[in-house]
Structure 1
Amino acid sequence: MRRNAGRPRDGWEKTIESQGLAYHRTAHPEGLSRPYWDESVHYSFTMAEVLDLERQVEELHEMCLAAVEHVIATGRYADFAIPGWAAPAVAASWRRRDPHVYGRFDLRYDGTGPAKLLEYNADTPTSLVESSLVQWFWLKDVHPGDDQWNSLHERLVGRWAELRLPTGPAHFAWTNMDETGEEAMTLGYLQETAEQAGLDTVAIAMEDLGWDEAGGRFVDLEHRVVRTLCKLYPWEWAVADPFGPRAVAGQVSMTWIEPLWKMLLSNKALLAVLWEMYPGHPNLLPAHLDGPRGLDSYIVKPLLGREGAGMSVVTPGGSLRTPGEYGAEGHVYQEFRPLPDFGGGRPVLGAWVVGDEAAGLGIRETAGLITDDSSSFVPHRVAS
């Protein structure tokens, strides 16, 4: 694994915008000298490294599924701040094996040892457009003789094709609360992959979903029954909303992508459960729900935090806290290992899973200790 410098392509801004990354300006805080998409640097890997990472990612995914089974079997919903009234539906969703499509592991990796799990973005993962499309076109333009860990597009199309979804169009819903456009573009891309798989699709805002009281079903603006809904609206938000009980109660008659049981994988309490089940596993960092338990250096993560907000890093040399209002539901205490320093860049590997198979890689890079909304996306290649 190496960090390499390169010359950005002429007119790269218009190029990536034409490929779907229309939000590269709006998704980044103003006033930063470094753009969100930064092709002035990239990472290169050997094929042996990629194959080994694929194996590790698929093992982690299997461990996470086993953790879901454990949490449901032992009824540990309170550790995940899941309301008691919703817990039976989470369990039923898992027992039905409600279909899932994709997720993204965030990993610490320096090329010299096992990757370490930082979190699993299993419900509403983003950076999909840049991981699947934009960096692939960069590779073809800049390093046409090399490869990339990237079968995302083909695997997404294949996954939609193999799902047994209810009849009628599949609805793809963004929320108007997202002012950057990232959510709409991500859903639009997912919708495109579903259409390439032969599905009929409809785009809609979550705010435009209606409720047919007589039929007891969600409907769209044309009063069509919504039988399949792909959304980037987190389940923890949904269950807290006024329509939450209806969404949870309607699980049997409607397919949600991602499914309700993914609440247990997109919650950082998962990190502590995994450490309990697989203590000392080379891909895990010690993590606990009841405090640091003697860890010298640790990071306090909100169970339902996003983009690095509301975290605290505690080390013998001092502490650091990031701004943010997350944490009302509780925290997990995970051993802190600084991200590897590659000449001033600290990468987090976003390793994608489609279905149950490793499918690709996206890299976010920061100069600080925590990856947040100021971090940049940088491409990668597999050297030939």
Structure 2
Amino acid sequence: MPHKSPSVFATLLGYAPGGVAAYSSDYDTASDIEYPKRSAFRSYLDGIYMGYKWQCVEFARRWMYINRGTIFDDVAMAYEIFDLRSVRNIANNSRLPLQAFCNGSKNLPQPGSLLIWEQGGEFAETGHVAIITEVFPDKLRIAEQNLDHQIWPEGRSFSRELPATTTEEGEYWLKCSFNDATILGWMTQTEDDRDAEPSPESNKQLFNLISRRAKVQVKTQKSWLNVANEDEAAYVQAMHGHKLSAVTADQYRYYVLSETAHYALQRAANELHGLFMHATDYVLENPSLLNKFNLPASILPKIRQSWDNRLNELITSRFDFAMTPQGLKVYEYNCDSASCYMESAKIQGKWARHYGVHEGQDSGKDLFNHLVNAWRKSQAKGRVHILHDNDPEEKYHALFIQQTLKSADIESTLICGISSLRWDSLGNILDAQGQVIHWVWKTWSWETALDQIRIQSEADEAVADKYRPLWQRGQAPRLADVLLHKNIMIFEPLWTLIPSNKAILPVLWSLFPNHPLLLHSDFVLNAELQASGYVSKPIVGRCGANIQMVDDSDTVLEETGGQFAAQEQIYQALFPLPLVDGYYVQVCAFTAAGKYAGSCLRVDSSMIISKDSDCMALRFVNDEHLINQ
């Protein structure tokens, strides 16, 4: 039988029970006119985000919303749904239990259950999800999107059937239609947890951070970083020695987390990246919200253009988490000019080898390779100019990134400051060797450039409506002129100003209320936040500056000074970092190209992590190893 051509994107394929339409998601045939930018592919129903048109996850969430009034949390990949354990009741924002049953379970699937495939084969990287519509002893029927893009036969309310076998013991086994794909099982919203899979996070003990100390040996007094490598030499100079911790007494200290906690970090980072991207799109589509981000009006068109053209060009970013037995909560997303990459990807691994720490695995062992792959996937085709300030930490950070570029076969030039740059007669910006700059990676935050624009806007009202570079041949450009030049592509892109701004946190909470990874956040200090305790943060702030922590009795627990006191504030529910062996410990998760890439720790005797907070080694160890100790 000849293979049928897929139906054109958005073609109606059929209707599942409840009158829920399924559409073709053959993206190759999507109209550039109807879908001119990525945001046009976002699917909403009653103002609630369902997913991307017309993917399998979008269909499953839309079916549940229409038929049950519930939706499951947003996920990066379909197979990750199998790890969820609750759905949200839209009517009252309450949580209802969602049980997972492996293929072969005695707890049979029901109409309305979610059928989940593992990643791999036909569903490489993503997995797949379908809605179960009918269940029989020898088969079941499902409805889905994003498979073969074929119109369903007339009068049929399902896309296909899967063979099933019911054993004498009552086990229900499904056969996959594809030899290279695996059915994980089904998920049912029910209180009945007989034969259900436990939550990956059910053992709260596995989320305890544990402090360890390496054994003191004679060799540990020796130098252990290779100063013949420029990045390591710069690191040794900045730290005044061969050490990971700045505190002499802590040279032998490290922390461990379970493999379950590691998996939770991976899943959380991947899921949260998607949530922050959705919130960014929502903000850019709502001018009243965008106004709360205190961005110069003159660059808003450039931000929107950056989002439309360069959404997938994020090289790396960092989530900051509090991990405790009471839950895993994200504080913020550093999409722009994050730090600690070298400490995580290189230094802590060398520290462990030198000090003879072989317990578990280095939490940053894969970060370097993930960054290399992110560069290979990027659109940077020519020489990348790495701009950094005259700061010891920025220098070794820049040199480390240069190594990732070199491994990706991308040429680069390191530039300290911008005084050596010049305008040419055509309006290009040249480096000291006369090369035109086209690609830039920077350690400076975008906000540094925006401050220059704000000053220029105050002096010239015309600039307030449209940014104009101060172009003068032979003269040095300003940082803003470089970063906002129309012919220069910057990593990280301009749109990262939105998810890096703390104003995104109340937006996230409004879009995904009571999400288990989020903390209640608001633009105003409401009664609920006062009752729980809260943290006030400047919407644009860095390195823990100008933060105040207040408990439920209105007592200030901790506060920091800084240069962001004039900024508008947001308020976030108080969820303190765990205090472990004398230090408050923050777990950081890095992403590369939007996916989890590695982890590190920041520690401080203060409850607030700042620029001067220490890094310590983090190891992921086997669950049983921790439990049996």
Tell me the residue number matched to 2:577.
Answer: 339
Tell me the residue number matched to 2:270.
Answer: 58
SS at match of 1:279: coil
After superposition, the Cα gap between the structure-2 partners of 1:377 and 1:67, relative to the gap in structure 1 and judged at 3 Å, is same
Using the TM superposition, give the Cα deviation of residue 113 of structure 1 relative to its aligned residue in structure 2, in angstroms.
Answer: 4.4
SS at match of 1:96: helix
Gaps of 5+ in 2: 1-208, 454-477, 623-629
Q: Which of 332, 350, 354 in structure 2 is aligned with 1:119?
A: 332
8 Å CA contact retained: 1:36, 1:377: no
Using the TM superposition, give the Cα deviation of residue 13 of structure 1 relative to its aligned residue in structure 2, in angstroms.
Answer: 8.0
Amino acid at match of 1:2: I
- Note the aligned Cα RMSD (angstroms): 2.4
SS at match of 1:272: helix
After superposition, the Cα gap between the structure-2 partners of 1:259 and 1:8, relative to the gap in structure 1 and judged at 3 Å, is farther
- 1:107-163 CA-to-partner distances (Å, cap 9, x unmatched) read 0002x2432111111100111111110111223342336312321111111111121
Using the TM superposition, give the Cα deviation of residue 8 of structure 1 relative to its aligned residue in structure 2, in angstroms.
Answer: 5.7
Tell me the residue number matched to 2:236.
Answer: 22
Tell me the residue number matched to 2:260.
Answer: 48
Amino acid at match of 2:371: L
- Cα distance in structure 1, aligned partners of 2:401 and 2:518: 30
Tell me the residue number matched to 2:604.
Answer: 366
Quick check: 350-359 or 146-155, which moved more? 146-155
Identity of aligned residues (%): 24
8 Å CA contact retained: 1:25, 1:35: no
- 1:253-290 CA-to-partner distances (Å, cap 9, x unmatched) read 22101110011122111211111111101111111112
- Cα distance in structure 2, aligned partners of 1:101 and 1:36: 34
Gaps of 5+ in 1: 28-32
8 Å CA contact retained: 1:166, 1:255: no
Quick check: 128-137 or 211-220, which moved more? 211-220
After superposition, the Cα gap between the structure-2 partners of 1:312 and 1:338, relative to the gap in structure 1 and judged at 3 Å, is same
Amino acid at match of 1:157: V
Quick check: 128-137 or 285-294, which moved more? 285-294
8 Å CA contact retained: 1:239, 1:248: no
Alignment of 1:319-330 (within 5 A): 319=556, 320-330=558-568
8 Å CA contact retained: 1:166, 1:254: no
- Cα distance in structure 2, aligned partners of 1:88 and 1:50: 39
8 Å CA contact retained: 2:503, 2:523: yes
- Cα distance in structure 2, aligned partners of 1:276 and 1:26: 46
- Cα distance in structure 2, aligned partners of 1:36 and 1:257: 36
Tell me the residue number matched to 1:95.
Answer: 308
Tell me the residue number matched to 1:278.
Answer: 512
- Cα distance in structure 2, aligned partners of 1:56 and 1:77: 26
- 1:166-223 CA-to-partner distances (Å, cap 9, x unmatched) read 43x11111112x3xx1001101100111011101111112323534252222211112
Amino acid at match of 1:261: W
Tell me the residue number matched to 1:318.
Answer: 555
Using the TM superposition, give the Cα deviation of residue 309 of structure 1 relative to its aligned residue in structure 2, in angstroms.
Answer: 1.6
Q: How many residues get paired?
A: 373
- Cα distance in structure 2, aligned partners of 1:172 and 1:328: 31
- Cα distance in structure 1, aligned partners of 2:537 and 2:248: 24
SS at match of 2:295: coil
Alignment of 1:192 with 2:403, yes or no, is yes
- Cα distance in structure 1, aligned partners of 2:527 and 2:488: 43
- 1:212-254 CA-to-partner distances (Å, cap 9, x unmatched) read 2522222111121100000011111112226366346524x22
Q: Which has the higher contact order (CA 8 A, sep 6+)?
A: 1
Tell me the residue number matched to 2:474.
Answer: none
SS at match of 1:103: strand
Using the TM superposition, give the Cα deviation of residue 17 of structure 1 relative to its aligned residue in structure 2, in angstroms.
Answer: 7.3
SS at match of 1:190: helix
8 Å CA contact retained: 1:37, 1:377: no
Tell me the residue number matched to 1:81.
Answer: 294
- Cα distance in structure 1, aligned partners of 2:563 and 2:378: 38
Alignment of 1:143 with 2:357, yes or no, is yes
Tell me the residue number matched to 1:155.
Answer: 370
After superposition, the Cα gap between the structure-2 partners of 1:35 and 1:65, relative to the gap in structure 1 and judged at 3 Å, is same
SS at match of 1:85: helix
- Cα distance in structure 1, aligned partners of 2:249 and 2:319: 20
8 Å CA contact retained: 1:299, 1:311: yes
Amino acid at match of 1:262: T
Question: What TM-score do you get using the length of structure 2 for normalisation?
Answer: 0.56
Tell me the residue number matched to 1:108.
Answer: 322
8 Å CA contact retained: 2:319, 2:588: yes
- Cα distance in structure 2, aligned partners of 1:378 and 1:147: 14
Tell me the residue number matched to 1:30.
Answer: none
Q: Which of 429, 440, 458 in structure 2 is aligned with 1:218?
A: 429
Using the TM superposition, give the Cα deviation of residue 382 of structure 1 relative to its aligned residue in structure 2, in angstroms.
Answer: 1.8
Using the TM superposition, give the Cα deviation of residue 363 of structure 1 relative to its aligned residue in structure 2, in angstroms.
Answer: 0.2
- Cα distance in structure 1, aligned partners of 2:215 and 2:503: 42
After superposition, the Cα gap between the structure-2 partners of 1:367 and 1:292, relative to the gap in structure 1 and judged at 3 Å, is farther
Q: Which of 497, 500, 512 in structure 2 is aligned with 1:266?
A: 500
After superposition, the Cα gap between the structure-2 partners of 1:374 and 1:231, relative to the gap in structure 1 and judged at 3 Å, is closer
SS at match of 1:280: coil
- Cα distance in structure 1, aligned partners of 2:527 and 2:295: 24
After superposition, the Cα gap between the structure-2 partners of 1:77 and 1:123, relative to the gap in structure 1 and judged at 3 Å, is same
SS at match of 1:283: coil
Alignment of 1:3 with 2:211, yes or no, is yes
Q: Which of 225, 232, 237 in structure 1 is aligned with 2:448?
A: 237
Using the TM superposition, give the Cα deviation of residue 341 of structure 1 relative to its aligned residue in structure 2, in angstroms.
Answer: 1.7
8 Å CA contact retained: 1:139, 1:381: no
SS at match of 1:241: helix
After superposition, the Cα gap between the structure-2 partners of 1:8 and 1:232, relative to the gap in structure 1 and judged at 3 Å, is farther
Q: Give 4+ residue runs of structure 1 displaced > 3 Å after superposition.
A: 7-14, 16-20, 23-27, 36-39, 242-249
- 1:23-65 CA-to-partner distances (Å, cap 9, x unmatched) read 55379xxxxx962894422111222221121001110111011
Question: What TM-score do you get using the length of structure 1 for normalisation?
Answer: 0.90
Amino acid at match of 1:318: T
- Cα distance in structure 2, aligned partners of 1:233 and 1:36: 30
